[in-house]
């Protein structure tokens, strides 16, 4: 069976060469815009393309304000800072995520708490979140308190796994009930919509990533999506060293960050955004081909939730058992077709081994059974 999977993927991508998991596609104005930036000499944080990139993100996502940053991790860090997370706080997230989600929580001086993911979205499960809080927290006049430690639980950070939106309204209901701030890790979900609204715009803040393996890339880069314009103005101020505008004086009114996206990266991003609708169409077409192929096999293809429209950033299958998963990973990679398992769960990493957590049975199931498939939007898969 695994040999036929390799054959099918090669037929899809029409190549006998190496097939990466997700490679960037440059077929538009990338060279022109980047060259223009170089010729202007404004390659760093001051330049027209940064402003244009932020405007285009706002137009596409309908966020009140988008603030471009140097990467997705810095965007999430800024979001947590703006949400009021501080040293000694606790932040609930999912164990099945990329390590950057938890690294940022630690960078804030806070501690992560892990809850399980949903079989529908592969992202944070609202029921698992509520059940954890009912047994491990209490609501006081000053906020949500962790019973075992007495520390404040300040925020909840779900991640839209592989671009599939979590059930945001259900999570928001739990957050409202427990007086918690909802912050979306939307690093993988540019172009994904929850009940018609773009991911990253329903929580107080959302963090996007434009790393080289994302659906569009700025080389490195990210953005903070803000629900309120005033918060966006503050995010822009914080990410530019809190410098007070002046023709020549250098005055900074608070300790802040150098998280500004360089103009040369934003130029690349503007060209990529012009092609985003085509990338999304191609990726959905590729996902449909994968689904048709795997429907009559022992593998279960991961489909978008019924309440959402996913960008299908990374396609995935759930294998019937661990042995088949291992065989699929080995046979594909041996044949030059890049596949990969899901991330090791965060509580298995040494720096998060002592973090509090709820029951994680489905996260552990996915860790042992899921395989990601090549997902580059290189062409229309007719």
pLDDT tens digits, one per residue of 236-285:
999 999 999 999 999 999 999 999 999 999 999 999 999 999 999 999 99
Sequence-distant (≥ 6) Cβ neighbours of residue 185 within 8 angstroms: 76, 93, 97, 101, 157, 158, 159, 160, 206, 207
- Hey, which residues does 168 pair with through a beta bridge? none
**CB-side neighbour CA atoms (13 Å) of 129:** 29
What does the pLDDT average to over 77-99?
98
215 close to 377: Cβ distance less than 8 angstroms: yes
Q: What's residue 47's pLDDT? A: 85
Where in the chain are all domains bearing CATH 3.90.1150.10?
A: 2-25+276-373
191 close to 199: Cβ distance less than 8 angstroms: no
Integer Cα distance of 232 and 68 in angstroms: 11
What does the pLDDT average to over 186-203?
98
Share of the chain above pLDDT 70, in %: 99
pTM (2 d.p.): 0.96
In Å, what is the CA distance from 319 to each residue of 4, 11, 294, 341? Answer: 15, 21, 11, 11
* Averaged confidence pLDDT in the chain: 96
Tokens coding 121: 């979205």
What does the pLDDT average to over 335-346?
98
What does the pLDDT average to over 319-330?
97
pLDDT band of 380, cuts 50, 70, 90: low
CB-based burial label for 20 (10 Å; 0-12, 13-18, 19+): middle
DSSP code for 175: H
How is domain 30-273 classified at the architecture level of CATH? 3-Layer(aba) Sandwich (3.40)
What does the pLDDT average to over 112-124?
98
Residue 362: phi, psi to the nearest 5?
Answer: -75, -35
Integer Cα distance of 247 and 210 in angstroms: 32
289 close to 315: Cβ distance less than 8 angstroms: no
Integer Cα distance of 216 and 34 in angstroms: 15
Query: Under CATH, what is the fold of the domain 2-25+276-373?
Result: 3.90.1150
Residue 152 has pLDDT above 90, yes or no: yes
Where in the chain are all domains bearing CATH 3.40.640.10?
A: 30-273
């Amino acid at each position: 069976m695994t040999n036929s999977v390799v054959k099918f993927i090669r037929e899809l991508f029409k190549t006998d060469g190496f097939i990466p998991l997700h490679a960037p596609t440059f077929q538009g104005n990338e060279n022109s815009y980047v060259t223009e930036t170089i010729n202007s000499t404004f390659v760093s944080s001051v330049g027209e393309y940064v402003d244009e990139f932020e405007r285009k993100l706002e137009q596409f996502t309908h966020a009140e304000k988008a603030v471009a940053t140097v990467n997705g991790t810095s965007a999430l860090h800024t979001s947590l800072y703006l949400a009021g997370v501080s040293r000694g706080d606790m932040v609930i997230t999912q164990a099945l995520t990329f390590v950057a989600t938890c690294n940022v929580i630690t960078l804030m001086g806070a501690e992560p708490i892990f809850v399980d993911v949903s079989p529908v979205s592969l992202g944070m499960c609202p029921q698992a979140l509520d059940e954890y809080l009912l047994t491990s927290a209490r609501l006081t006049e000053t906020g949500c308190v962790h019973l075992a430690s007495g520390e404040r639980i300040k925020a909840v950070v779900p991640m839209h796994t592989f671009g599939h939106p979590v059930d945001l309204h259900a999570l928001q209901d739990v957050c409202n009930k427990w007086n918690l701030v909802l912050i979306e890790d939307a690093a993988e979900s540019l172009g994904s919509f929850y009940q018609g609204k773009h991911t990253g715009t329903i929580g107080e803040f959302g963090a996007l990533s434009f790393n080289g393996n994302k659906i569009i890339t700025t080389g490195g880069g990210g953005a903070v999506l803000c629900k309120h314009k005033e918060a966006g103005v503050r995010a822009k101020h914080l990410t530019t060293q809190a410098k007070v505008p002046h023709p020549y004086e250098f005055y900074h009114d608070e300790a802040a960050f150098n998280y500004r996206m360089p103009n040369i990266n934003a130029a690349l991003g503007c060209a990529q955004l012009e092609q985003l609708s085509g990338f999304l169409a191609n990726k959905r077409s590729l996902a449909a081909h994968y689904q048709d192929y795997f429907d009559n096999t022992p593998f279960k293809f991961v489909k978008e939730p019924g309440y959402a429209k996913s960008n299908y950033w990374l396609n995935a299958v759930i294998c019937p058992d661990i042995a088949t998963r291992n065989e699929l990973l080995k046979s594909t990679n041996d044949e030059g077709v890049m596949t990969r398992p899901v991330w090791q769960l965060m509580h298995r990493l040494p720096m998060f081994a002592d973090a509090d957590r709820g029951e994680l049975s489905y996260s552990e199931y996915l860790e042992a059974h899921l395989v990601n498939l090549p997902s580059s939007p290189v062409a229309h898969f007719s």
